[in-house]
Structure 1
């Protein structure tokens, strides 16, 4: 058999890897264990140091490196910036805890118990302080990435890894004799330029690219991929490591890639289906049990390293309970997230090996530490993360509560694309309700032909939603005018929101017969969203939310604000509340009570009549203007608010504009009326 192993046929190698990626989670699931443990064990058993079926060649090294950087990138990409900002002190505290405790105890173990000299002891101790977010995908699948414990662990990762890598840079430079009085200035300056260029320059370049060059999904995905790995490759010039560059790139892209967008789905799918499993297999292949046959020294080093990393990371995580007041499950979840050793550990150990500070026993001990930590951590994250997810599960909704069903009025696929993107961003994934792309065909002699054309157009729209993993149910209606068709379909589908494209002005025919907006507003029992989206939503910097007086007293206020907050959360854009007495504590309390959490910033007005001038003065490129629509007879109804959408559209012709007319709750859905019964005219079908 030795002449046939390791397998070198690339097609067969990829087939074996694909089967491992498929079956490892299934087999491990039978024992209630995370699938990544199966991949680690498979790599160890089939790797060159065991059965020798697979060789750890350049393909595994390449895809494994990509997978590691992917983990760091996705972890930063999925951070809820509002939550991170709110708990930034937690991240800093835990980052310092998980650095100082392991490096202090590790220095004692390395110097006193294992007998290393000072440079080797300090470098080995720094490997205990660093960790890799290897188990983050488990937390992501459990839906707890916005839990403050997860955010704290992710934020603390960049703190401790950066400090550990700085120790690596200093030890390596001192061993080579490069540390002089200018070393710290060079290192500080290069890191400052590197971090500043990523966090400040990259969002500007990416926003311009998304706006002007790449509006289709493939180009956006390739741009993100190329940018992330280019930044990671340049990290060595700044005295850092690629994992830090990938993490910083994720922070820079965080506000430009909504969490539930098509682009995010493509990024996550590619990583979790290919790159991350390759990384797990490549880590498992590193284990060489034969080294332990060489004597007690190898066992002593390996056991000391494994015990030290387990104890110190556990102590750092447990310290969050009295200091940050975390629960037991949160502390154990932080432990599971901060335990895995991979990237920084391998980097430090290999640098020490190349410099002659470490021998084979340390290298193998590091590999065993990686394997043990990667076996223990997934179990901890899965068990305690699942407990947190179950304890945080929302209470069952009342049977009378209407589900969120978004109807999107579409004309052509090009015009419908931004409207469908908006629907995906404001949709509540927890309800698992489909989005309904709707086309209305005008009654006439050629209705059958137009219905066939509409169905072909709807197929493209369904494809856009499917790429974002959003269920879709296309709908076509024949009606005498657009408003009648939309209202009839909305009632039949029990739609809770209707998204309609809007030009911001009325045509002469609409001035005579009545505008489509007026007709749509005749049904008061759903939320109407008028959207004029001139730029991609993911390039939004801020949301300017104009709120008329007494709006918070209306019954539909909470639902409307929830949509705006969900949009802000997805886009990572702060909400500037333009309202009379916006800083008033009562209004602020009303705004904060509505979920989800968002970054709210008051922009007070002396009088509501100044709303237009204030919006015009505060508007900047990249802002999305959101207006709280005023329905006739509501508590917030007054002449200025009724005409504000038209005036804003005229005064800010280049601005992205969204007008939300909240629903007026009702006990029972009305019987569907005909267009004549509701007083609807025969206005032509006109929407964006």
Structure 2
């Protein structure tokens, strides 16, 4: 087709005119690109400036939002884009809360979350209703709704506890689970009050609300995990496709909640809980989720909260200030009282009391959304609306400050539960083959075994054998290219790695020497499942490494992505509890189960299960498993064939041949496991030669 000036005329007319001179934007700024640039600049500068004043960085974003927003200096307008990204940030924040929830601790003691949630809601709700009726002179239904606003809470200070790595503390877990109760009840109160305002307060309304909640929980819980597990298991694309699946799931669940007449944040929170065990902490996917949230979505939410603040309401007369002071007084007194009552019942210490108080006083756009609904329905006047805006500003400053004050003390004290401190960050040596198609699976396993704030690197190694033809340089170049690809995966997970290519006539010798030079705490090796022609367990290379090292060696064959693991079956041979490396091996197993959020069952062959239950309980981290006995090896094989599924993981503890706990059946066990349905196992060979080394993994009573 011939392109002529005439044919380009329609296109040219559709393009915006090119400015010929300097064109400064007018205030307030509404141009999307400039708005986005100012927002990102705020996210960069505001936290650094406010931290100089001793306040948490997130407070700076809120204050800057108030300063440059339409009610401050008027630099930024409250455009549709700001509103959209602010709401997206709130939805994303609630999803990450559900994702970080310690489900194991929640499942072990759901009553803790229920106790905190119900106490933190009903103490402010009952007192607040009475004060709103008798002090603020609101009618009963308006008082119900306003009390529900500050009885719930938004985890404004979640980035603080996440950064300080105390999210698994028992008290913090109770607050995270408690939001499921506080926000759900607040939304139920909203539906009931609006139903009364419309004259539709009937039994059918209650049935509709509770039916919608039931459909939301069951729908997300039974549909999302199987879909995500299938996707993770079958996709072979880059990991950002996994992130896109998670992102789509977040907002699909939030949209599903809105369709049901519920809050979108409730749907996002339930989605986070549903995907909790499929996104392992320390992995590439979790890093991508946290990075996008911390760098973009959550700051936009905080900026939006700040832009909602209108300092001019102070000049509108004493009524607004009286209402605001009353609301804030009720909020702080009742939230502190509720936190104190729960702390007294649960035995929380002073730092835990301070953290849960700081987390529960936070209020944000969710509170404003409920207030706006009440305002539109004629239940509130402008004085109440403006008072709630002031409440949001005050709590946006106090909640992060109070939380950081006590969370820092909690992180530096001995108040963190065993297994939460991440004191042991193992140095892992991971030999990789240039042609290994399971390379990414091995890397993800190595990242899972590492500490979440890893400082010691994973050592990636390739050993090249010279062929005598003088072409080693080309082979070494190919090996380095393969290691470079592995490094990119590690960079995405923010796990430090070091790569090394060695030329050695003996691959086992190269691996053994590297383990000595790197002072490796463990060697992780992949096995393709091929049977050895000799009587070896795995084959020449792996068996030689086992015979020439004393550090723990983990031989892995993964038939499914490690993050989709649902259950772990631990196999212990008779007498292995007397092996000097037994407790370290138990620590490795329990740490892996903790990071994956997987249940574990210990199958004890020819020994007393109760004895091993006592021994496992002596080892950090704190986790409870199931212990069963198998009278002999054929019985064990039958149990595994009947019970393991495709997303399960089998972990036998297999000492080196001739050492305590060794059994000849362990030599053929790997070939047996290859034929089992999950095709996924990790053979853990314990450390030997350091009898006193195991004491570091035992709990200190």
Q: Distance in 2 between matches of 1:513 and 1:639?
A: 14
Q: Distance in 2 between matches of 1:619 and 1:93?
A: 36
| Secondary structure of the structure 1 residue equivalent to 2:76 | coil
| Secondary structure of the structure 1 residue equivalent to 2:520 | coil
Q: Which moved more, 1:472-481 or 1:429-438?
A: 429-438
Q: Tell me the residue number matched to 1:221.
A: 243
Deviation at 1:618, TM superposition (A): 1.1
Matched, 1:15 2:37: yes
Q: Tell me the residue number matched to 1:432.
A: 455
Q: Tell me the residue number matched to 1:35.
A: 57
Q: Tell me the residue number matched to 1:448.
A: 473
Q: CA offsets, 1:525-551, max 9 Å, x none? A: 111111111111111111111111222
- In structure 2, the CA distance between the partners of 1:586 and 1:52, relative to structure 1 (3 Å rule), is same
- In structure 2, the CA distance between the partners of 1:509 and 1:582, relative to structure 1 (3 Å rule), is closer
Q: Distance in 2 between matches of 1:575 and 1:416?
A: 26
Deviation at 1:582, TM superposition (A): 7.8
Q: Distance in 2 between matches of 1:219 and 1:431?
A: 25
Q: Distance in 1 between matches of 2:138 and 2:604?
A: 65
Contact 1:165 1:344 survives alignment (8 Å) = no
Contact 1:510 1:516 survives alignment (8 Å) = no
| Secondary structure of the structure 2 residue equivalent to 1:439 | strand
Deviation at 1:306, TM superposition (A): 1.5
1:265 to 271, 275, 287: 287
Matched, 1:169 2:186: no
Q: Map of 1:537-616 to 2, 5 A cutoff?
A: 537-580=562-605, 584-616=609-641
Q: Map of 1:474-553 to 2, 5 A cutoff?
A: 474-508=499-533, 515-553=540-578
Q: Tell me the residue number matched to 1:344.
A: 366
Q: Which moved more, 1:418-427 or 1:550-559?
A: 550-559
2:328 to 286, 289, 306: 306
- In structure 2, the CA distance between the partners of 1:271 and 1:541, relative to structure 1 (3 Å rule), is same
| Secondary structure of the structure 2 residue equivalent to 1:407 | strand
Q: Distance in 2 between matches of 1:110 and 1:665?
A: 71
- In structure 2, the CA distance between the partners of 1:109 and 1:513, relative to structure 1 (3 Å rule), is closer
Contact 1:114 1:301 survives alignment (8 Å) = yes
Q: Distance in 2 between matches of 1:566 and 1:498?
A: 16
Q: Distance in 2 between matches of 1:193 and 1:230?
A: 14
2:651 to 610, 613, 626: 626
Matched, 1:420 2:431: no
Q: CA offsets, 1:253-284, max 9 Å, x none? A: 10000011111111111111111111111111
Contact 2:531 2:538 survives alignment (8 Å) = no
Contact 1:549 1:608 survives alignment (8 Å) = no
Contact 2:212 2:262 survives alignment (8 Å) = no
Q: Distance in 2 between matches of 1:429 and 1:127?
A: 36
Q: Distance in 1 between matches of 2:120 and 2:537?
A: 70
| Secondary structure of the structure 2 residue equivalent to 1:4 | coil
| Secondary structure of the structure 1 residue equivalent to 2:358 | helix
1:58 to 57, 70, 80: 80
Q: Distance in 2 between matches of 1:352 and 1:214?
A: 49
Deviation at 1:495, TM superposition (A): 1.4
- In structure 2, the CA distance between the partners of 1:658 and 1:667, relative to structure 1 (3 Å rule), is closer
Contact 1:579 1:608 survives alignment (8 Å) = no
Q: Map of 1:399-410 to 2, 5 A cutoff?
A: 404-410=426-432
Q: Distance in 1 between matches of 2:66 and 2:689?
A: 60
| Secondary structure of the structure 2 residue equivalent to 1:546 | strand
Q: Distance in 2 between matches of 1:344 and 1:103?
A: 16
Deviation at 1:469, TM superposition (A): 0.6
Q: Which moved more, 1:289-298 or 1:578-587?
A: 578-587
Deviation at 1:592, TM superposition (A): 1.4
| Secondary structure of the structure 1 residue equivalent to 2:320 | helix
Q: CA offsets, 1:33-87, max 9 Å, x none? A: 1011111111111111121011111111111111111111111111222222233
Q: Tell me the residue number matched to 1:677.
A: none
Deviation at 1:431, TM superposition (A): 5.8
Q: Which moved more, 1:205-214 or 1:43-52?
A: 205-214
Q: CA offsets, 1:306-351, max 9 Å, x none? A: 1111111111111122111111111110001111111431221011
Q: Distance in 2 between matches of 1:336 and 1:388?
A: 13
Q: CA offsets, 1:443-462, max 9 Å, x none? A: 22222110010001110101
- In structure 2, the CA distance between the partners of 1:612 and 1:292, relative to structure 1 (3 Å rule), is same
| Secondary structure of the structure 1 residue equivalent to 2:407 | helix
Q: Distance in 1 between matches of 2:58 and 2:190?
A: 29
Q: Distance in 2 between matches of 1:424 and 1:647?
A: 27
Q: Which moved more, 1:483-492 or 1:434-443?
A: 483-492
Q: Distance in 2 between matches of 1:270 and 1:349?
A: 30
- In structure 2, the CA distance between the partners of 1:225 and 1:488, relative to structure 1 (3 Å rule), is same
Pairs aligned (count): 663
Q: Structure 2-normalised TM-score? A: 0.91
Q: Structure 1-normalised TM-score? A: 0.92
Q: Distance in 2 between matches of 1:207 and 1:294?
A: 55
Q: Which moved more, 1:421-430 or 1:445-454?
A: 421-430
Q: Which moved more, 1:128-137 or 1:556-565?
A: 556-565
Contact 2:537 2:670 survives alignment (8 Å) = no
Q: Tell me the residue number matched to 2:349.
A: 327
Q: Which moved more, 1:540-549 or 1:430-439?
A: 430-439
Deviation at 1:183, TM superposition (A): 2.2
Contact 2:30 2:79 survives alignment (8 Å) = no
Contact 1:402 1:496 survives alignment (8 Å) = no
1:5 to 19, 27, 41: 27
Q: Tell me the residue number matched to 2:680.
A: 656
Q: Tell me the residue number matched to 1:388.
A: 410
Contact 1:583 1:602 survives alignment (8 Å) = no
Q: Distance in 2 between matches of 1:588 and 1:224?
A: 37
Question: Please, which runs of 5 or more residues in structure 2 have no aligned partner?
Answer: 1-22, 418-422, 694-701
Q: Map of 1:60-459 to 2, 5 A cutoff?
A: 60-213=82-235, 215-392=237-414, 404-412=426-434, 414-429=437-452, 432-444=455-467, 445=469, 446-459=471-484
- In structure 2, the CA distance between the partners of 1:384 and 1:579, relative to structure 1 (3 Å rule), is same
Q: Distance in 2 between matches of 1:262 and 1:346?
A: 35
| Secondary structure of the structure 1 residue equivalent to 2:463 | strand
- In structure 2, the CA distance between the partners of 1:214 and 1:165, relative to structure 1 (3 Å rule), is farther
Question: Please, which runs of 5 or more residues in structure 1 have no aligned partner?
Answer: 396-400, 670-688
